[in-house]
Structure 1
């Protein structure tokens, strides 16, 4: 059973998301350690959401009807213990999605439909990187792998078939739109860019689109020089942060550093420099926060953070969004149908095993009588495959309609099989354990 714990800008404040982001590694480790309940874990942490996707062992969670709620409570307790966020606060600011709703939710997230700015392009890459991280740590199950692979295909389909990517704008561009009225002349404005990651690269490109030419880069990890050379920008020298702040009319922060980088002391030190600008705009795109909110109380400083920016996100362009949601809905329905098909796999495997065991026995008897022909044997095996084709197609169709048990009961009755309707046990009449054929893997 798939389950998603989600806390996002729709359910929680950015302060809470900030705290969860800071403890993402600890939360991931805590969930991954519970291998008895969770056979797979993928954690997605972005600037406006914190989500854990889990493959739940229904038997370990208890009765199937209660498995979702039992697993959800375990997740909340684990997240609370690892992040230090009170469990009651988590329950009030999060949601738990179970079974078929998980696929539709992730497909919508990866397509940008659940972002602060609908259609923003960064989220698809963040979803892919979450899967890569889970692969690297060995926590992704086959079902979660399939879920995230289909999510990536769905997001590409939404991007290629709708106008939602152009309907929405990235957080960076939206922030600069809001800054437009505060910046008299972009080309004459010195900008301090804090951060050297992919988000910093996108921010720098967006600034240059508006005509900014004077950009200096600062990195608390010491990577500013390398980034500046690669992007033809200036690098803040060691000990030169206060002086650069003093001369910058705009500061854009987008670092993934876990601690606040710019606070009241740094800005006050900058103001003490001769010739320091009397007014500056600070745009904090970091999550965790890169800027102490207290700087907004300093004279001449205006702060735009993610929470403020999100309140000004443009209205969705309805046609593109509706079309995108239709694509997501179709993809989720197909994902569920393919998952349902797997429920008849034990019966199909048992049926194939039974038929070919009978065939092998007859061929062996024929050989013992001296009647051995490779052409005849090949023809008989082909005939058996042809006869099994229609039951296989019919079984998968029944499973898609929620009637997998109908086929299993029929196979048990007609061929004397003993396939457990829950799919936990699969035995032929001779007591042999039926294993999937190469073409009937769990991921097919």
Structure 2
């Protein structure tokens, strides 16, 4: 039995492939159910964020599991196997655990030390548990990886400063617009990223904020937290016209802002800034060609975030030491778990022998 990870991320694949392979929560649930239905896969967790889509699995045989997961990724992205092969990476056993722990600690993120990924890892694990796809082996692995991520952020300065995609996006907005005090802002999407963006905007002085979400109920708690208003996506056309700044981060599989929707919002007297950090992209690429509209995407946010990376690199070695400690603890716990059935069988055998001797 092998624990393995197979995936693509912002370092190995272009944005258009990341968009095609990205899964929302419903897609992740369907994916893990499909993976564990394969003969080669015993357990599975799928982590899909704006930066990566990774499959963590327990496989009977590494090579068969790897091949099956490669086919799964190719099918998900709608591309041929050769394309997937040129962009994926794979690790197994100790190296797979090390990779996951590094992800949870923020060392493998587009923004070094970002905090959002830890919640995304937890969500992925919980979905797999709900689908019955994560059992003893992956449950142990993910418990230890979450502990690693928590320690990295509480015991080091890895998360200090601009350590999230949401904060990087908001800092870009401030750089373009200056003060946000009198700026009309729309946050489209009320997930973890949307909440982080709304809070960061509020912290930078934004007081005229609308939170849009597919359901009003889910967006209300965020809007209340930042003294904003809430609307459903049905009001998006109207909100675009009224907004100076739009930051969008939904899990939609198709663009939700088209040129026809954005054109009425354009005005030489009131230029519009749109920051799209969704994967797949929420804003159709042709919107950027409109006059008086500036569209920034995930690549722009990555370049911006890289400017503050140096301030957190001094904590990397301390985080690596934490990862090493937690890997040792995981290895001990994993060995104990694997030995448990043998120990139980030996105890049963010796108890049986003892009873036979006493009965003589």
TM-score (norm 1): 0.73
**SS of the residue aligned with 1:259?**
coil
Superposition pairs for residues 294-309 of structure 1, below 5 Å?
A: 294-309=286-301
Superposed CA offset, 1:81-110 (max 9, x none): 233122111111110111111111111111
The aligned counterpart of 1:404 is none
User: Where does the alignment leave 5 or more consecutive residues of structure 1 unmatched?
Assistant: 59-67, 366-444
The aligned counterpart of 2:358 is 363
The aligned counterpart of 2:55 is 52
The aligned counterpart of 2:16 is 15
The aligned counterpart of 2:185 is 191
Cα distance in 2 for partners of 1:220, 1:355 equals 61
Q: Select the residue among 317, 321, 326 that pairs with 2:321.
A: 326
Between stretches 145-154 and 351-360, larger displacement belongs to 351-360
**SS of the residue aligned with 1:312?**
helix
The aligned counterpart of 1:230 is 224
Cα distance change on mapping 1:210 and 1:238 into 2, 3 Å: closer
**SS of the residue aligned with 1:90?**
helix
**SS of the residue aligned with 1:165?**
coil
**Are 2:158 and 2:313, in contact at CA under 8 Å, matched by a contact in 1?**
no
Cα distance change on mapping 1:225 and 1:258 into 2, 3 Å: same
The aligned counterpart of 1:293 is 285
Shift of 1:278: 3.8
Q: Kindly tell me the number of residue pairs found equivalent between the two proteins.
A: 352
The aligned counterpart of 2:263 is 268
Higher RCO (Cα < 8 Å, 6 or more apart): 2
Q: Select the residue among 42, 46, 50 that pairs with 1:43.
A: 46
Superposed CA offset, 1:164-198 (max 9, x none): 12155211111122222311331011112212233
Cα distance change on mapping 1:31 and 1:242 into 2, 3 Å: same
Cα distance change on mapping 1:308 and 1:33 into 2, 3 Å: same
Cα distance change on mapping 1:111 and 1:228 into 2, 3 Å: closer
- Cα root mean square deviation, aligned: 2.5
The aligned counterpart of 1:248 is 243
Shift of 1:151: 0.9
Q: 2:166 aligned with 1:172, yes or no?
A: yes
Q: Select the residue among 187, 201, 205 that pairs with 1:207.
A: 201
**SS of the residue aligned with 2:304?**
coil
Cα distance change on mapping 1:17 and 1:156 into 2, 3 Å: same
Shift of 1:259: 2.2
Q: Select the residue among 95, 98, 118 that pairs with 1:124.
A: 118
Superposition pairs for residues 94-113 of structure 1, below 5 Å?
A: 94-113=88-107
TM-score (norm 2): 0.89
**Are 2:40 and 2:64, in contact at CA under 8 Å, matched by a contact in 1?**
no
Cα distance in 1 for partners of 2:128, 2:154 equals 27
Cα distance change on mapping 1:238 and 1:148 into 2, 3 Å: closer
Superposed CA offset, 1:245-269 (max 9, x none): 2332211112222221112111113
The aligned counterpart of 1:115 is 109
Report the structure number with the largest CA radius of gyration: 1
Cα distance in 2 for partners of 1:362, 1:196 equals 68
Q: Select the residue among 87, 90, 94 that pairs with 2:84.
A: 90
Cα distance in 1 for partners of 2:233, 2:174 equals 31
Cα distance in 2 for partners of 1:239, 1:336 equals 51
**Are 2:32 and 2:131, in contact at CA under 8 Å, matched by a contact in 1?**
no
User: Where does the alignment leave 5 or more consecutive residues of structure 2 unmatched?
Assistant: none
**Are 1:247 and 1:277, in contact at CA under 8 Å, matched by a contact in 2?**
no
Cα distance in 1 for partners of 2:21, 2:191 equals 20
Cα distance change on mapping 1:83 and 1:18 into 2, 3 Å: same
Cα distance change on mapping 1:308 and 1:40 into 2, 3 Å: same
Cα distance in 2 for partners of 1:182, 1:168 equals 17
Shift of 1:155: 1.4
Cα distance change on mapping 1:187 and 1:224 into 2, 3 Å: farther
Cα distance in 2 for partners of 1:7, 1:101 equals 16
Cα distance in 1 for partners of 2:241, 2:340 equals 68
The aligned counterpart of 1:76 is 70
